[in-house]
């Protein structure tokens, strides 16, 4: 007999509709898994079993009446960067204290509207700043996968959406929300052997999502496979008048696009993504992906994205600059934690020193520096100009191709104790993902194989602005060709 | 460009983050590592390039001038670490 | 002769520029749907956007944009079809986001100018550098608790127009005249109510001093001065302070100061001691503000008449410069006057409005927005006067009764039988009676004592109860006494 947590989101949806399973039993199965594994994986900061079961009962009533939304009765996890009305929201930071938003983010509200059940709030790097989930004030998340040759070594799930990716891999949620500022959906999805898409900037509302870097942040789903991601995104996406950067454009049927195939599509292969010192396994996977798509009828074109090597330094100016300003509101006056101070300045300085972790403090200070008098032109303005060039590279590439195929990450998941001494080495994790954020284009990570140690590796598909359909079509083709069926060692 | 401990102290002050005196040299070293890495952007010729501020909508949408929000003092104050009646309160500020 | 202040080393010229913050008239805030009304309970007009809560995003109010453009047009300024919002970063207890959304690099309105009138009858052009939109901060209250400051965010996010002048003013009087004229223009446009005591209009005053023929010396900014009188006092006080510093061999440091209205001096602001570094950058939450030229043109076409145009029109009607001045000072007064004057003799209307009506306002301590006599009623009174229904003398009496009763003069004249007698027969009858009762005087008059004519006029008027038309009485008396 199939276990309840074996269903993909699409399968569970059909089983719920057919009344062969109930939302309550499905939800209970996930809550049981969380109770058993979360103490180890630490994917959830907050679990809300009572709320989830109450929602499940309401869903069962709707389903019994032949009603309900597109995600009716589906147990979901929400990254703890999305404000949820009446449920503590932490951004994995001490500074938010017991902050309980009196409002709901648009994206989580859309999922609720469509019948999704919220199991709880998922762990992340503090304020989404990190690539390992090690900066969370609520402890690191453990990757459910481990190395065949070193099973005792605890690995990172990637970040910042490490809780989302680990929860999907360990089957502690059927779908999750995540956000991606420099790779925070795609890199953890790749490390955990699951699928994740960062949509076009402006596709999902940022209203009610704790801001990290406003011009780069974009919400998207992490789920078990490409189709599940499409179903999640169909609910999450949509124009929101409350976000001035939200784009008023129709949301197509993403799930339908997954099966479309790649016949006749031109797939660009950017030569600048072939980095010095890139592991042979990554290169081999990339070549394999190219071969799969060619076999499915796509044509492969060599393209150039000449400013790729400048993307990370650009990102590490733009993102901290915006973050330094976005995080100024955490001052201990209106909400969140407060440290005592003799005067207002001391209150601020102590509150922010105690409330923010080391990486967040570092990025706020870098951001403050690059915006400060005398340095703005050399750093911030220069970075915004390079950013324009990076976007222009893509604009030119779209004249030659319809989608781009690259590796998702430069390596498989690394150890919890690795790469923490040197911030720059940690930043290099985002080398393949960050250009999509700077250019505002959609990108998806699809699990495509295992490395020699049995850890998952992924390919990345990039697309034109607001052409997520082609991204889903190409990702679907890669997924079918790869036939990735491996599961992690730790799983509910 | 490189920064010294005095610069780090000034930045920390601007960012309103307390930094212990003994932590300054370590932070300065970290800063210089990151800044050195960022420095490679100076190689890019950006003359005449219009800076890109962000993506998404290309022009502001305008909202109607209607009162649709507010009248919720209790909800606004509910998360306050300290309050006096209907006010937020902080240590006295001398102007 | 230009204005100077006398120091120990001789005369000093003063240089003044003003940055005026004018609260935009709108129902809701610049970037949120919370109300803007003055005097509400603390934190009762606050959205989570105004309070800088996590994940909150700004959306712009179309009326605030229109008000800024209307003001720009009223200042004869360039309207920038492309402008942008920047963040000005600093920490303060009443600045919830930790930054103010403002327009630093690309304001919505560029260069313009204002003509101001001075006491000696001359006029002067003062340049406008720019006008931009920005959010107001909340309010810190320091005097309610011995060791705490209280924060009210009702004002947080209310739209302000910051209107920056060129350093073109050279005396306290010019600064006062500029502010008076700017306030008048804003009130005419209906873009700011100009209530300085409610804080809807505040001025930051930049002052420096110099010797004749010099370039600019270091200036100081006197923050948040909240009346025209105080601006004039602050200019003089700060200029005198700087002269003293220079003459003692010191240098003036560029700094922010406050005007102590009780002592009439400026003092350094302690809390602003830290050198500011606002780290302006484009707000990534707000795409550029793009205007259509046709939309700006439509606003321009629907702009109300401005003070300068109104003055010109009134002068052309033949009103005296004094009447023009007092009638155009406040838009409400001008509107009142025009209602009175509509279809009537403008000069007569001006005499009544600036004369009896203003006197009544002063005497009763009433405001033009709450007049003791409506413009319509005053107009009716002028009609009764013009068509000889009542005499000028009687009109003044009727006016007082109108104030007491609030009734229309048409009703009063009817009710109280105050209608002037213009019936020749009736007046002749009265005159005949007066002549019969004073046969001796008639004889004296007819024998050449012309001075008695006045006596007969008086007697006739008295006998008619004051209602006989004086001109007709004159005419008929001459005929009948002849």
- Interval B53-83: pLDDT, tens: 877 778 999 999 999 999 999 999 999 999 9
Per the DSSP assignment, residues forming a β-bridge with B89 are C150
Decide the pairing of beta strands A443-450 and A456-463.
antiparallel
Interface test with A, best of C141, C281, C282, C288 (most A CBs within 10 A): C281
Final residue of a structural domain among C264, C295, C326: C295
Average pLDDT, chain C: 93
pLDDT tens profile A66-118: 999 999 999 999 999 999 999 999 999 999 999 999 999 999 999 999 999 99
Final residue of a structural domain among C415, C445, C473: C415
Question: With 90 as the cut, is the pLDDT of residue C208 above it?
Answer: yes
Residue with tokens 């939304």: A69
* Stretch C36-59: mean pLDDT: 97
Neighbouring CB atoms inside 10 A of A288's CB total 16
Least confident range of A80-89, C53-62, C161-170, C270-279:
C270-279
pLDDT value at residue C71: 98
Domain holding C471, by residue range, is 424-481
| Distance separating alpha carbons of residues A2 and A21, to the nearest angstrom | 12
Q: pLDDT-derived band of residue B1, with 50, 70 and 90 as boundaries?
A: low
C82 with C20, same domain: the answer is yes
Which one has a higher pLDDT value, B9 or C424?
B9
* Stretch A267-291: mean pLDDT: 94
Average pLDDT, chain B: 93
Q: Is A244 a catalytic residue?
A: no
A297: left (phi over 0), alpha (psi -120 to 50) or beta: left
pLDDT value at residue C65: 98
The residue from A93, A108, A131, A160 that is catalytic is A160
CB C266 within 8 A of CB C259: yes
Question: With 60 as the cut, is the pLDDT of residue C274 above it?
Answer: no
Question: With 60 as the cut, is the pLDDT of residue C402 above it?
Answer: yes
Residue with tokens 């789903």: A221
Percent share of chain C, pLDDT over 90: 78
Distance from CA of A468 to the nearest CA of B (A): 15
pLDDT value at residue C225: 94
The residue from A22, A59, A79, A324 that is catalytic is A79
CB A347 within 8 A of CB A466: no
| Distance separating alpha carbons of residues A486 and A457, to the nearest angstrom | 11
Residues of chain C with Cβ-Cβ distance to A380 below 8 Å are 281
| Distance separating alpha carbons of residues A387 and A392, to the nearest angstrom | 9
C206 with C176, same domain: the answer is yes
- Tokens standing for A210? 């704790």
Contact flag A424-B33 (C-beta cutoff 8 Å): yes
Residues of chain C with Cβ-Cβ distance to A438 below 8 Å are none
pLDDT tens profile C247-257: 999 999 999 99
Residues of chain C with Cβ-Cβ distance to B85 below 8 Å are 42
Closest by Cβ to C57, choosing from A82, A244, A373: A244
pLDDT tens profile B21-61: 999 999 999 999 999 999 999 999 999 999 998 777 789 99
pLDDT value at residue C273: 45
pLDDT tens profile A402-443: 999 999 999 999 999 887 667 777 788 899 999 999 999 999
Question: With 50 as the cut, is the pLDDT of residue A357 above it?
Answer: yes
Question: With 80 as the cut, is the pLDDT of residue A43 above it?
Answer: yes
- Residues 78 to 117 of A: which have CB under 8 A from any C CB? 82-83, 89, 91, 96, 99, 101-103, 105
Residue C175, in any domain of the structure:
yes
Distance from CA of B25 to the nearest CA of C (A): 23
Map out the domains of chain B as residue ranges.
5-41
Long-range contacts of C113-116 (CB under 8 A, 24+ apart): C113/C75, C113/C76, C113/C77, C114/C75, C114/C165, C114/C178, C114/C181, C114/C182, C114/C185, C115/C181, C115/C308, C116/C174, C116/C177, C116/C178, C116/C180, C116/C181
C77: left (phi over 0), alpha (psi -120 to 50) or beta: beta
Which one has a higher pLDDT value, B53 or C398?
C398
pLDDT tens profile C83-132: 999 999 999 999 999 999 999 999 999 999 999 989 888 999 999 999 99
* Distance from the Cα of residue A33 to its chain's centroid: 22
What ipTM was estimated for this complex?
0.97
Final residue of a structural domain among C274, C295, C316: C295
Residues of chain A with Cβ-Cβ distance to C99 below 8 Å are 325, 328
Distance from CA of C96 to the nearest CA of A (A): 6
CB A393 within 8 A of CB A268: no
| Distance separating alpha carbons of residues B22 and A340, to the nearest angstrom | 22
Residues of chain A with Cβ-Cβ distance to C89 below 8 Å are 324-325, 328, 371
Residue C216, in any domain of the structure:
yes
Closest by Cβ to A214, choosing from C51, C149, C285: C285
Give the CATH number of the domain where residue C455 resides: 1.10.10.410
Closest residue on chain B to A199 (Cα): B56
Q: Is A153 a catalytic residue?
A: no
pLDDT value at residue C472: 86
Q: pLDDT-derived band of residue A212, with 50, 70 and 90 as boundaries?
A: very high
In total, the C-beta contacts within 8 angstroms joining chain A to chain B are 165
Question: With 50 as the cut, is the pLDDT of residue A156 above it?
Answer: yes
C128 with C79, same domain: the answer is yes
Average pLDDT, chain A: 96
pLDDT value at residue C270: 61
Q: pLDDT-derived band of residue C266, with 50, 70 and 90 as boundaries?
A: very high
Neighbours of chain C (3+ CB pairs under 8 A): A, B
Distance from CA of B85 to the nearest CA of C (A): 9
pLDDT value at residue C6: 94
* Distance from the Cα of residue C1 to its chain's centroid: 28
CB A444 within 8 A of CB A469: no
Q: Does A209 touch chain C (CB under 8 A)?
A: yes
Q: pLDDT-derived band of residue C425, with 50, 70 and 90 as boundaries?
A: confident
- Tokens standing for C266? 């400026």
Cα distances (Å, whole numbers) of residue C224 to B91, C21, C196, C234, C273: 23, 9, 10, 11, 17
Least confident range of A272-286, A301-315, C42-56:
A272-286
| Distance separating alpha carbons of residues A61 and A96, to the nearest angstrom | 36
Distance from CA of A385 to the nearest CA of B (A): 4
pLDDT value at residue A292: 98
Closest by Cβ to B70, choosing from C45, C65, C271: C45
C149 with C264, same domain: the answer is yes
Nearest to A364 by CA among C97, B13, B39, B36: B13
Closest by Cβ to C59, choosing from A101, A242, A368: A242
The residue from A108, A184, A205, A246 that is catalytic is A184
- Tokens standing for A51? 């709320």
- Tokens standing for C332? 């409400």
Residues of chain A with Cβ-Cβ distance to C57 below 8 Å are 206-207, 242-244
Contact flag C151-B91 (C-beta cutoff 8 Å): no
* Distance from the Cα of residue C170 to its chain's centroid: 22
Q: What letters, b where the CB count within 10 A reaches 16 and e where it falls short, cover A249-287?
A: eebeebbebbeebbeebbbbbbebbebeebbebbeebbe
Q: pLDDT-derived band of residue C275, with 50, 70 and 90 as boundaries?
A: low
- Residues 289 to 318 of C: which have CB under 8 A from any B CB? 289-290
pLDDT value at residue C110: 98
C403 with C282, same domain: the answer is no
pLDDT value at residue C271: 53
Nearest to A409 by CA among A448, A452, A439: A448
pLDDT value at residue A426: 77
Distance from CA of A373 to the nearest CA of B (A): 11
C96 with C218, same domain: the answer is yes
CB A121 within 8 A of CB A89: yes
Q: Is A242 a catalytic residue?
A: no
Q: DSSP characters for C421-441? A: B--HHHHHHHHHHHHHHTHHH
pLDDT tens profile A443-459: 999 999 999 999 999 99
User: Which domains, ranges and CATH numbers included, belong to chain A?
Assistant: 4-262 (3.90.1300.10)
Least confident range of A170-174, A447-451, C18-22, C442-446:
C442-446
Q: What share of chain C is helix, strand, coil (3-state, %, to 5)?
A: 40, 20, 40
Sequence-ordered list of residues with C-beta below 8 angstroms from that of C164, at least 6 positions apart, any chain:
C17, C18, C19, C20, C128, C129, C130, C131
Percent share of chain A, pLDDT over 70: 99
| Distance separating alpha carbons of residues C443 and C441, to the nearest angstrom | 5
Closest by Cβ to A329, choosing from C98, C279, C287: C98
C284 with C375, same domain: the answer is no
Residue C300, in any domain of the structure:
no
CB A297 within 8 A of CB A263: yes
Q: Does A243 touch chain C (CB under 8 A)?
A: yes
| Distance separating alpha carbons of residues C95 and C76, to the nearest angstrom | 33
Question: With 70 as the cut, is the pLDDT of residue A349 above it?
Answer: yes
Number of domains in chain C: 3
Question: With 70 as the cut, is the pLDDT of residue C1 above it?
Answer: no
- Residues 125 to 164 of C: which have CB under 8 A from any B CB? 140-142, 144-153
Closest residue on chain A to C96 (Cα): A329
Question: With 70 as the cut, is the pLDDT of residue A34 above it?
Answer: yes
């Amino acid at each position: 007999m199939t276990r309840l947590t074996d269903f993909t989101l699409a399968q569970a949806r059909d089983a719920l509709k057919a009344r062969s399973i109930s939302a309550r039993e499905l939800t209970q199965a996930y809550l049981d898994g969380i109770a058993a594994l979360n103490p180890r994986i630490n994917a959830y900061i907050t679990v809300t079993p009572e709320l989830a079961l109450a929602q499940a009962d309401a869903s069962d009533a709707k389903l019994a009446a032949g009603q309900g939304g597109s995600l009716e009765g589906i147990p979901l996890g929400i990254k703890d960067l999305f404000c949820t009305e009446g449920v503590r929201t932490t951004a994995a930071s001490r500074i938010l204290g017991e902050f309980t938003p009196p409002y709901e983010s648009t994206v989580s509200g859309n999922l609720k509207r469509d019948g999704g059940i919220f199991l709880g709030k998922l762990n992340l790097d503090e304020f989404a700043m990190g690539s390992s989930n090690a900066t969370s004030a609520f402890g690191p998340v453990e990757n459910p996968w481990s190395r065949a040759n070193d099973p005792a070594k605890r690995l990172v799930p990637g970040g910042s959406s490490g809780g989302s990716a680990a929860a999907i891999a360990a089957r502690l949620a059927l779908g999750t929300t995540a956000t991606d500022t420099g790779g925070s959906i795609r890199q953890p999805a790749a490390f955990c052997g699951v699928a994740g898409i960062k949509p076009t900037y402006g596709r999902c509302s940022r209203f009610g999502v704790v801001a990290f870097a406003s011009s780069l942040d974009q919400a998207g789903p992490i789920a078990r496979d490409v189709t599940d991601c499409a179903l999640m995104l169909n609910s999450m996406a949509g124009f929101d008048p409350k976000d001035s950067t939200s784009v008023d454009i129709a949301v197509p049927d993403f799930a339908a696009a997954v099966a479309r195939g790649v016949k006749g599509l031109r797939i660009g292969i950017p030569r600048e993504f072939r980095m010095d010192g890139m592991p042979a396994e990554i290169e081999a996977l990339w070549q394999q992906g190219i071969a799969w798509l060619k076999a499915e009828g796509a044509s492969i074109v060599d393209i150039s994205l000449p400013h790729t090597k400048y993307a990370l330094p650009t990102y590490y100016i733009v993102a901290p600059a915006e973050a330094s300003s976005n995080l100024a509101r955490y001052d201990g006056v209106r909400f969140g934690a407060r440290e005592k101070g003799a005067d207002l300045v001391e209150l601020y300085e102590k509150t922010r020193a105690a409330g923010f972790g080391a990486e967040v403090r570092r990025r706020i200070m870098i951001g403050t520096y690059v915006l400060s008098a005398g340095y703005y032109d050399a750093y911030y303005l220069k970075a915004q100009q390079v950013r324009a060039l990076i976007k222009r590279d893509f604009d030119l590439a779209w004249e030659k191709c319809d989608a781009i195929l690259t590796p998702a990450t430069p390596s498989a998941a690394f150890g919890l104790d690795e790469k923490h001494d040197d911030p720059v080495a940690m930043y290099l994790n985002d080398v393949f993902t960050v250009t999509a954020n700077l250019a505002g284009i959609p990108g998806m990570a699809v699990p495509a194989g295992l490395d020699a140690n049995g850890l998952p590796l992924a390919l990345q598909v990039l697309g034109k602005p607001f052409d997520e359909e082609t991204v889903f079509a190409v990702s679907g083709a890669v997924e079918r060709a790869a036939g990735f069926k491996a599961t992690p060692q730790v799983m509910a | 460009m490189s920064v010294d401990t005095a610069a780090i102290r000034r930045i920390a002050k601007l960012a309103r983050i307390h930094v212990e005196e003994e932590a300054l040299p370590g932070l300065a070293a970290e800063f210089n590592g990151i800044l050195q890495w960022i420095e490679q952007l100076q190689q890019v010729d950006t003359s005449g390039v219009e800076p890109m501020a962000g993506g998404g909508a290309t022009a502001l949408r305008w909202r109607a001038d209607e009162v649709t929000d507010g009248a919720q003092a209790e909800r606004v104050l509910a998360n306050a670490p300290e309050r006096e009646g209907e006010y937020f309160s902080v240590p006295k500020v001398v102007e | 002769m230009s204005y100077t202040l006398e120091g120990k080393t001789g005369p000093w010229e003063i240089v003044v520029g003003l940055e005026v913050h004018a609260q935009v008239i709108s129902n809701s805030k610049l970037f949120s749907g919370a109300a803007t009304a003055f005097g509400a309970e603390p934190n009762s007009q606050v959205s989570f956007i105004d309070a800088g809560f996590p994940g909150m995003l700004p959306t712009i109010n179309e009326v605030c944009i229109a008000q800024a453009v209307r003001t720009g047009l009223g200042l004869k300024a360039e309207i920038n079809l492309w402008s942008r919002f920047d963040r000005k970063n600093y920490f303060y207890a009443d600045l919830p986001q930790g930054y103010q959304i403002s327009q630093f690099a690309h304001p919505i309105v560029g260069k313009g100018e204002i003509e101001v009138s001075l006491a000696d009858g001359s006029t002067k052009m003062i340049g406008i550098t720019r006008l931009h939109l920005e959010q107001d901060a909340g309010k810190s209250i320091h005097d309610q608790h011995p060791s705490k400051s209280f924060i009210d965010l009702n004002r947080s996010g209310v739209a302000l127009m910051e209107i920056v002048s060129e350093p073109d003013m050279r005396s306290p009087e010019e600064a006062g005249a500029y502010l008076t004229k700017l306030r008048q223009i804003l009130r005419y446009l209906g873009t700011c109510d100009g209530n300085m005591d409610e804080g809807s209009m505040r001025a930051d005053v930049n002052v420096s001093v110099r010797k004749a023929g010099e370039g600019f010396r270091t200036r100081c900014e006197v923050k948040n001065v909240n009346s025209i009188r105080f601006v004039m006092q602050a200019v003089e006080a700060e200029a005198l302070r700087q002269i003293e510093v220079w003459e003692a061999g010191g240098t003036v440091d560029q700094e922010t100061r406050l005007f102590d209205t009780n002592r009439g001096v400026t003092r350094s602001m302690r809390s602003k001691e830290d050198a500011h570094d606002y780290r302006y950058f484009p707000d990534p939450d707000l795409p550029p503000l793009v205007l259509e030229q046709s939309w700006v043109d439509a606003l321009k076409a629907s702009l109300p008449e401005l003070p300068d145009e109104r003055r010109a029109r009134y002068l052309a009607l033949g009103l005296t410069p004094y009447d023009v001045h007092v009638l155009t000072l406040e838009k409400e007064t001008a509107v009142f006057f025009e209602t009175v004057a509509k279809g009537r003799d403008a000069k007569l209307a001006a005499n009544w409005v600036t004369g009896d009506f203003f006197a009544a306002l002063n005497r009763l301590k009433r405001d033009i927005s709450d007049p003791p006599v409506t413009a319509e009623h005053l107009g009716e009174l002028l009609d009764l006067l013009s068509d000889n229904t009542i005499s000028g003398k009687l009109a003044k009496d009727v006016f007082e009764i109108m104030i007491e009763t609030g009734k229309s003069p048409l009703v009063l004249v009817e009710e109280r039988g105050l209608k002037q007698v213009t019936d020749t027969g009736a007046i002749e009858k009265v005159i005949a009676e007066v002549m019969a009762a004073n046969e001796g005087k008639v004889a004296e008059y007819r024998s050449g004592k012309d001075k008695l004519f006045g006596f007969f006029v008086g007697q006739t008027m008295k006998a008619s109860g004051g209602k006989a038309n004086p001109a007709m009485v004159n005419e008929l008396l001459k005929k009948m006494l002849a």
